[in-house]
A and B are shown apart, each in its own frame.
Chain A
Amino acid sequence: MGERRSATFYALAAFFGLYVLFLYGPMFGIFVLSFQGPDGGLTFPMNGVSLVWFEKLFQGGGIVDLGAAFWRSLALGVVVMLLTVAISVSAGLAFRTRFWGAGALFYITIASLIVPSIITSLGIGLEFRLLDDLVKNHGPDWLAEDHTTWMGLFTSGLGAHLTWTLPFGLLIMFAIFNRFNPAYEEAARDLGATPFQTFRHVVWPIILPSVIGIGLFGFTLSWDEIARSSQAIGEVNTLPLELQGLTTTVTKPDIYALGTSISAVSFLVIFASLFGIRLLQRRRAAR
């Protein structure tokens, strides 16, 4: 106590302060500017305060239908979240035992993180174009006749997002099962639980808080994904893609309102999950 901090401390603290400002300053600026008055522009100073840009946003009627894009992204995010959880948990369980090709499978999964996103996206787009050509030229008549493309939100788009979320999900599962004491499962087996009962009554409840975290990760990664979606999404766009399109054409603060709304959803999901985990822990402690 009472020990004087060295000059290094203050220098580093100032540097850290700058870093935080750099990290969150832009976001904060956009939050503020999204409440720009009706006559305000894209930059400071604020010309009054209003919710008029949010109103415009949700009325639609702009160049693109942002409301529809919002719901599309939300739906995709939820599907990605559920699939990421289901596949990561299954894979995490599978990787606890050694199986043939485990190493190769792991590296292939992780490699998806290393390959540049735009390349992955181009590849998926190319793959689907090849597939479409194949169906059109060589498929059975009933299929080939009306076929245009299989590329879409829940085919190529979903795949592109999963290449992004699954490696994270799997790595988190590895961390979870690294800490997981296998004696719990042996004890359950000793007490007569079947493998399914062991999972249902012992493993799942213990890993549940971490699994919620994976779901959260899956959703937020999908929610603001651009690079992997760009070439693989098909004809309709996700919200971030619409937003990116707008940045070149829009000159009004409604784009800021959109940014604020997207961030709000992300925060909402995070806090809802944290609240869910807390509730779960509370319920456990209460029993």
Chain B
Amino acid sequence: MATPAPLELIAVTKRYRATLAVDAIDLRIPAGTYCCLLGPSGCGKTSTLRMIAGHEIASEGDILLGAANITTLPPAARGTAMMFQSYALFPHLSVRDNVAFALKMRGIDKATRHRRAGELLELVAMSAYADRLPAQLSGGQQQRVALARALITEPQILLLDEPLSALDPFLRVRMRAELKRLQRELGISFIHVTHGQEEAMALADLVVLMNAGRIEQQGSPREMFNRPRTAFAARFMGGHNVLRRADQQIAVRTDHIRIAPTHALRARVTELEYQGTWLQANLALPDGETLIATLTEQQFDAAPFGAGDEVGIAWDDDAAHPLV
């Protein structure tokens, strides 16, 4: 496999006629990083990925991979490989020929390219399916073949466009573990576009949260979750209440809200949901503000309450994060 290299985006901008899809973003992804580009649809994450892949050319700015400026290079000359959202496996070619496609285009002889394809299929545990057509495979199997096909070019960075969105929830969790394992074994960077914060937190070394063409916040999953910088970040990462206190917005984790009859701040329980290991209480403050509290079954049993009850709530000072 190729030597891993860091990727750097410098003031990268993408314009489609009048609309600004990506607005001068700066980003550095160290070699061998699992990076998730996270954000709602239309935030510019896919455009960013496609500019790194070379399927779109940046309107302005530079993209550096290692020492090379790859901003305007064609996709295959960049040292990147892309796995497409619906995998885009060629329907008329067998699994083996799909994986060997890049080598065939380079004019490599059949014996060599079939041997290499065999090795890659081994890597993704799909050797037994080499003669099948894509239509004869399950979603998870198709994804593995797509991975093998992308990796045969020995990329320094693998780009994944919503790779898990085509799978059912059960398979999604399994395939995401496989992606993480593969990235660790190969030692190259994976850049993974997703709109699921849960997926990003489970996989990423580096989460890059995007909003309206800009990077809202970046950091490790724990940093992102525990220190959201903005109301948008707090809401998108989930598990937070965004509240207005005096002139400032603050974020308080839902599991840091304490409920007891004695607390001074009064709230009415509008809804109570049992979720197994935890419970969710929807609360309304007298001024109409709403918030959510999650508590363990144990905490709940210590001081049970029901929907419609009035309770007292509180949180520690250091649990309240000021937002900009």
Q: Which residues does A use to contact B, with CB under 8 Å?
A: 181, 183-184, 186-194, 197, 201-202, 205-206, 284-285, 287
Contacts and interface: CB of A to CB of B under 8 A. Distances in A.
Given A191-B76, A192-B153, A183 B86 contact: yes
B42 interface: no
B133 A284 contact: yes
Contacts of B54: 190
Contacts of B74: 189
A181 B74 CA distance: 20
A287 B94 contact: yes
Contact of A190 (B55, B91, B97, B106): B55
B90 A202 contact: yes
A185 B75 CA distance: 12
B82 interface: yes
A191 B101 contact: yes
Interface core residue of B92, B94, B97 (most chain A CB under 10 Å)? B92
Contacts of B131: 287
Nearest to A186: B55
A192 B75 CA distance: 7
Given A184-B90, A202-B90, A191 B133 contact: no
Top 8 A-B pairs ranked by shortest CB distance?
A: A192-B76, A191-B102, A183-B88, A187-B88, A205-B92, A193-B105, A190-B75, A183-B84
B81 interface: yes
B76 A206 contact: no
6 contacts: A181-B88, A183-B84, A187-B90, A191-B153, A192-B102, A287-B94
A65 B92 CA distance: 47
Contacts of B76: 189-193
Contacts of A193: 76, 101, 105
Given A193-B76, A193-B105, A205-B92, 6 more contacts: A189-B76, A191-B153, A192-B105, A206-B90, A287-B97, A287-B133
A206 B105 contact: no
Contacts of A187: 82, 84, 88, 90, 149
Nearest to B100: A191
B270 interface: no
Given A183-B84, A206-B92, A189 B133 contact: no
A94 B74 CA distance: 22
B57 interface: no
Size bracket, chain B contacts: 20 to 34
A285 B153 CA distance: 27
Interface of B: 53-55, 74-76, 81-82, 84-86, 88, 90-92, 94, 97, 101-102, 104-106, 131, 133, 149-150, 153
A147 B90 CA distance: 55
B242 to A, nearest CB: 38
Contact of B86 (A181, A190, A191, A205): A181
A194 B94 CA distance: 21
Contacts of B94: 287
A181 B87 CA distance: 11
B149 A191 contact: yes
Contacts of B55: 186, 189-190
A225 B101 CA distance: 44
Contacts of A183: 84-86, 88
B79 to A, nearest CB: 12
A186 to B, nearest CB: 5
Contacts of A285: 133
Nearest to B78: A190
Contact of B75 (A181, A189, A205, A206): A189
B105 A197 contact: yes
A284 B84 contact: no
Interface core residue of B86, B91, B101 (most chain A CB under 10 Å)? B101
A191 B86 CA distance: 16
A270 to B, nearest CB: 24
A188 B94 CA distance: 15
Given A189-B76, A190-B76, A285-B133, A206 B91 contact: yes
Contacts of B133: 284-285, 287
B65 to A, nearest CB: 15
A185 to B, nearest CB: 9
B92 A190 contact: no
Given A186-B55, A284-B133, A287-B94, A191 B105 contact: yes
A189 B102 CA distance: 9
Contacts of B82: 186-187, 190
B81 A190 contact: yes
A197 B149 CA distance: 17
A284 B97 CA distance: 12
Contacts of A186: 55, 75, 82, 84, 88
Contact of B106 (A188, A192, A202): A192
Nearest to B159: A190
A280 to B, nearest CB: 9
Contacts of A197: 105
Contacts of A191: 76, 81, 101-102, 105, 149-150, 153
B251 to A, nearest CB: 38
A153 to B, nearest CB: 38
